[in-house]
Amino acid sequence: MGRYVIRRLLQMIPVFIGATLLIFLMVNVMGDPVAGLCGDRQCDPATAAQLRKEFGLDKPVWQQYATYMGNVFTGDFGTAFNGQKVTELMSTAFPVTIRLTVVAILFEIVIGILLGVVTGLRRGRPVDTGVLLVTLVVISVPTFVTGLLLQLLLGVKWGWISPSVSSEAPFDELIVPGLVLASVSLAYVTRLTRTSIAENRRADYVRTAVAKGLPRRRVITRHLLRNSLIPVVTFIGTDIGALMGGAIVTERIFNIHGVGFQLYQGILRQNTQTVVGFVTVLVLVFLVANLLVDLLYAVLDPRIRYA
């Protein structure tokens, strides 16, 4: 197991470098990092050149990247052009997005799995068909439309929630945004659980459990669920990274000052350091989540043995 973890960590390195380099190139080569500095006016050439030198932008790109990564590993994500430290922005933005993601994951676990189990056990009945249809509709409507509509109905028309989230973003204000963020994954978790349950329901070991004279409840929870949820749990785990990266749309709709908001601002103002810094952390989160999921997999399914 230990050797496996080390091998996986080593494998993560090229992926990490590749992904961050890709983003670094996109931001630095395709955009002009200096252009954002002079506001709406055109920079005059002399100032631009001086700024370039100051930020090391006159050096070759690979050297810039190496310097940047070197700094990142000493905890220095650089400074946004407005003088604020990028780490400072992170320390305010990440807790908000993490809270939002936690709410979304909880929705996926509680509602998604529940619906999936119910429909999987009642395959072909009206409740199954109904839920399946709803999941398809949820998947088909883009998240930002779902978000706008929920905001309009719950926030404006019925006044159940405040249409925008305050800057502290406590958990109770994040319930509806969390649901919006989770919606598509939620529908997918439902379908995945349903398929998995329906498939395993006919499995030989479930028949054995019934033949052993176990109560129906125990057959379902201990034998059927335990096996059926393995792919679901792994999906939810890998979804963490995707949710944090995808929160940008939800955060924009509900005016949540999280990672997505900072990134959006960074991109609009061509704030290279902010963008690359945030994306680097997101990529790391994604990779670590995937690693944890693989280890979890081994715990849940004893057939997997890592040499």
Partner 1 sequence: MPEPPVPPEQPTPPQRPLRSMPPGPHLSGGGRAPEDGAIAATGMGGAMDLATEEGASLGKPPGPDAGGPQDRPRSLWSDAWRDLRRNPVFIVSALVILFLVVISLWPSAIASGNPLKCDLAKSQEGSQPGHPFGFNGQGCDVYTRTVYGARVSVTVGVCATLGVSILGSVLGGLAGFFGGVWDAILSRITDVFFAIPVVLGGLVLLSVVTSSTVWPVIGFMVLLGWPQISRIARGSVITTRQHDYVQAARALGASNSRMLLRHITPNAIAPVIVVATIALGTYISLEATLSFLGVGLKPPTVSWGIDISSASQYIRTAPHALLWPAGALAVTVLAFIMLGDAVRDALDPKLR
Partner 2 sequence: MLLEVRDLHVEFRTRDGVANAVNGVTYSVDEGETLAVLGESGSGKSVTAQAVMGILDTPPGKITAGEILFRGQDLLKFKEEERRKVRGAQMAMIFQDALSSLNPVLSVGAQLGEMFTVHRGMSRKDAKAKAVELMDRVRIPGAASRVGDYPHQFSGGMRQRIMIAMALALEPALIIADEPTTALDVTVQAQVMDLLAELQRELDMGLILITHDLGVVADVADRIAVMYAGRIVESAQVHDIYKAPAHPYTKGLLESIPRLDQKGKELYAIKGLPPNLLHIPPGCAFNPRCPMAQDVCRTDVPPLYEVTGAGPDRRSACHFWRECLDG
Binding-site partner at residue 142 among partner 1, partner 2, none, CB < 5 to 8 Å by type: partner 1
205: how many CB neighbours lie within 10 A of its CB?
11
**Using only C-alpha atoms, what is the Rg of the chain?**
24
Closest to partner 2 by CB, 129 or 167: 129
Per-residue binding letters, 209-228, with partner 2 (x by CB under 8 A): xxxxxxx--x---xx--xx-
Q: Give the phi and the psi of residue 79 in degrees, each rounded to 5.
A: -120, 140
Near partner 1 by CB under 8 A: residue from 93, 103, 174, 184: 184
**What is the closest distance, in whole angstroms, from the C-beta atom of residue 274 to partner 1 in the complex?**
11
Instruction: Scan residues 252-291 and list those touching partner 1 (CB under 8 A).
Output: 252, 263-264, 267-268, 270, 275, 279, 282-283, 286-287, 290-291
23, 51, 283 from 29: Cα distances, Å = 10, 16, 20
What's the one-letter identity of residue 105? I
109 is an interface residue for partner 1 by CB under 8 A? no
Near partner 1 by CB under 8 A: residue from 78, 116, 120, 245: 245
Instruction: Decide if 36 contacts 271 (C-beta within 8 A).
Output: yes
64, 185, 224 from 191: Cα distances, Å = 46, 10, 16
Closest to partner 2 by CB, 62 or 205: 205
Structure token pair of residue 204: 């030989």
Instruction: Scan residues 184-213 and list those touching partner 2 (CB under 8 A).
Output: 202-205, 207-213
Closest to partner 2 by CB, 157 or 202: 202
Instruction: Scan residues 227-286 and list those touching partner 2 (CB under 8 A).
Output: 227, 230
Binding-site partner at residue 191 among partner 1, partner 2, none, CB < 5 to 8 Å by type: partner 1
Closest to partner 2 by CB, 37 or 206: 206
127 is an interface residue for partner 2 by CB under 8 A? no
Near partner 1 by CB under 8 A: residue from 98, 111, 121, 139: 139
Handedness of CA 249, 252, 255, 260 (dihedral sign): positive
Binding-site partner at residue 300 among partner 1, partner 2, none, CB < 5 to 8 Å by type: partner 2
DSSP 104-172: HHHHIIIIIHHHHHHHHHTTTSHHHHHHHHHHHHHHHS-HHHHHHHHIIIIIIIS-SS-SS--TT--GG
16 is an interface residue for partner 1 by CB under 8 A? yes
Closest to partner 2 by CB, 181 or 293: 293
DSSP 169-204: --GGGGHHHHHHHHHHHHHHHHHHHHHHHHHHHT-H
Instruction: Scan residues 15-34 and list those touching partner 2 (CB under 8 A).
Output: none
Residue written as token pair 């960590």:
9
Instruction: Decide if 245 contacts 294 (C-beta within 8 A).
Output: no
Near partner 1 by CB under 8 A: residue from 51, 206, 214, 248: 248
Binding-site partner at residue 184 among partner 1, partner 2, none, CB < 5 to 8 Å by type: partner 1
